[in-house]
Structure 1
Amino acid sequence: MKISKFCIQLVFMLFLILGISGCAQEEEQAQKGGTEEVFLVENESEPQSQVGLSAQKDSVALKVSEAVDLVEEEGTEAFPEFREEGGKWFRGYSYIFIWDTNGTRVVYPPDPSGEGEDVSGLTDINGKPIGKLFIETALGESGEGWVSYEWPKPGETEPSTKYSFIKRAEFDGETYLVGDGFYVEDYLFTRNIGDCESINATGVSLCEFMHPGRTDTELGVDYSIAYVLMEPGEKNLPHRLSNPEVHYVLEGSGTIYIDDVPVSLHEGKLVHVPANEIQYVENTGNSSLRLLLIDQPAWAEENEEVLE
């Protein structure tokens, strides 16, 4: 199943479960073609949240704007300051980079030997023309903007979403683009199904996709989501939960029995199982059955009774 399809289904399902459970929280009141130019946050080990994402976005935009002010005041004389590791502009994987508008890199702190290289053709892992977009953003009417793309973190092979702020700077007839950025997923909780460790729960393969009590990230939710894969003919053991549970079918078909009453399952169907009802699921189709199980409050062993 394509990831984009899964994401759409997941978002749709979450809106439904929050409405059905009546527990929605109130809103808070008011690798191709070159070397990457976007960088890790400075404190990756600290738990992050969506509030942190907003703050990081503001922080990066402010940092780039201040760098532009410096360039427009001092020109190339400011460039050595950007290369000073451990200073304001360059710490770890976070640093200011500067190109001219032909796409030549003129400041590249992690590897000054790369300065002078033409990176106008830089693309991300999906072929998105990063170099072209950086230049177009700097030369656009507003002279600034954000560019997102996919790039692996240092030491990793799988891509992560990058978000770079680009702003135009002018000095003595020369025009430059100044940028900085961050890995979005350092400030959001994300997980791929392939990274989800499977366990045998109630007799079938299940992975805990999201649980607020088992992550370093402050999620601000009181529900959990599990991903279940069942092959044709497979069924789980009868069990009951002291809390309601929602089943959402991502793919395949089958039957869920609630107090021995059969309810058909098919792709896109959602079933709300009331608390304290005996339930089990059987894959009665000819292909894999993939489900999301949502518990509110979050699943806890003491809330589940497995019936042999």
Structure 2
Amino acid sequence: MIELKKVICVLLILVMFFVVAGCVQPDDTGEDEQGIIEEQNELASQREFTASQVNSAVELIEEEGEQAFPQFREKNSQWFHDDFYIFVWRNDGIRMVYPPNVSREGQDTSNLEDFNGKPTGQLFIDIAQSEEGEGWIDYYWPKPDETEPSNKYTFIKAASFDNQTYLVGSGFYVNDYIYTNTLEDVDYTRYGNTSVGYLIHPAKVDRDLDVDFSFTHVIIDAGQSIEPHIMKNPEVYYVLEGEGVLYIEDVPFELSKGKLVHIPANSKQYTENTGDVDLEIFVIDQPAWAKENEQILE
């Protein structure tokens, strides 16, 4: 299995290949571009909303001091609803307001770390004490009532009342707005001597991605092969590991790490793993892979 950074680079290269080659072509360019803008605006709107709420909370604290704190704990209010909430610390790291679990208020959180060991507590304090007095930070933190961490993006801003200084913050979970995946999280299906897992397939995610292609990780066992078949749509193979031979209309194309091959639509194809280790391939289908587009040959 290759490193995540390498996977991301390969993903970008292959998607760019499709765009340049014209394999991914929207029916209406104007509508597609508008869809992209709307998706970007949804993320941007949440970022602006979060910063605006923190700014408003800071203004309230600087007017009322700790008398404002009960408002932040009130459920289904502008300050605390769904998985959104405002939290407040003193600048020494003592947690003053934590709506998801008020029993944790009063704790020293200056040494708080995220799931990956990032010193978020000290970083929060550093942001509030910086010259700007505000800033964004990303880290991994569970959503309310969940145990598995998610990528969170949080805005921190300093506040003061009388002689007491605070840091005020709120964040959102970026995966609610942007789809991400890793090979470690892919579910694989076994077909004979081959394992198939979708990094992205519009029919296999719980949101509308506004895409019509699939990106698949295919693993062929050492010394084995994929049976001859025809795809009605074009495909692109990119070899991650191993070696083998891809036959297109019975013409052999050697496969080795880093090799990219475009397979025209309606071409007879089959692949052999000629090595003694797994042959790992990224496969892009446009439109997204569908059983009705595949014909198995005898």
TM-score, structure 2 as length reference: 0.89
Q: Of 58, 69, 92, which aligns to 2:48?
A: 58
Matched ranges for 1:121-140 at <5 A: 121-140=111-130
What is the match of residue 17 of structure 1? 18
Q: Output the amino acid matched with 2:12.
A: V
What is the match of residue 36 of structure 1? none
3-state SS of 1:57 partner: helix
Q: Percent identity?
A: 48
State the shift of 1:95 in Å.
1.0
Q: What CA deviation, in whole Å up to 9, does each residue of 1:113-145 have, x standing for no partner?
A: 322211111111221110111111112222211
The runs of 5 or more residues in structure 2 that have no matched partner are none
State the shift of 1:22 in Å.
4.2
Q: Distance in 1 between matches of 2:145 and 2:122?
A: 26
Q: Distance in 2 between matches of 1:147 and 1:103?
A: 16
Residue 278 in structure 1 maps to residue 275 in structure 2:
no
Residue 223 in structure 1 maps to residue 230 in structure 2:
no
3-state SS of 2:33 partner: coil
What is the match of residue 35 of structure 1? none
Q: Give the conservation status (yes or no) of the 8 Å contact 2:194–2:221.
A: no
Residue 78 in structure 1 maps to residue 68 in structure 2:
yes
3-state SS of 1:149 partner: strand
Q: Distance in 2 between matches of 1:84 and 1:216?
A: 31
What is the match of residue 45 of structure 1? none
TM-score, structure 1 as length reference: 0.86
What is the match of residue 37 of structure 1? none
Q: Output the amino acid matched with 2:243.
A: S
Q: Of 192, 195, 199, which aligns to 1:205?
A: 195
Matched ranges for 1:33-72 at <5 A: 49-72=39-62
Q: Of 80, 86, 105, which aligns to 1:96?
A: 86
What is the match of residue 291 of structure 1? 281
What is the match of residue 159 of structure 2? 169
Q: Distance in 2 between matches of 1:51 and 1:256?
A: 43
State the shift of 1:304 in Å.
1.3
Cα gap change, 1:229 to 1:91, in 2 (>3 Å)? same
Q: What CA deviation, in whole Å up to 9, does each residue of 1:33-69 have, x standing for no partner?
A: xxxxxxxxxxxxxxx9554322221221111111111
Higher relative contact order (CA 8 A, sep 6+): 1
Matched ranges for 1:251-262 at <5 A: 251-262=241-252
| Cα RMSD, aligned residues only | 2.3
The runs of 5 or more residues in structure 1 that have no matched partner are 31-47
Q: Of 232, 249, 265, which aligns to 2:239?
A: 249
Q: Give the conservation status (yes or no) of the 8 Å contact 2:136–2:154.
A: yes
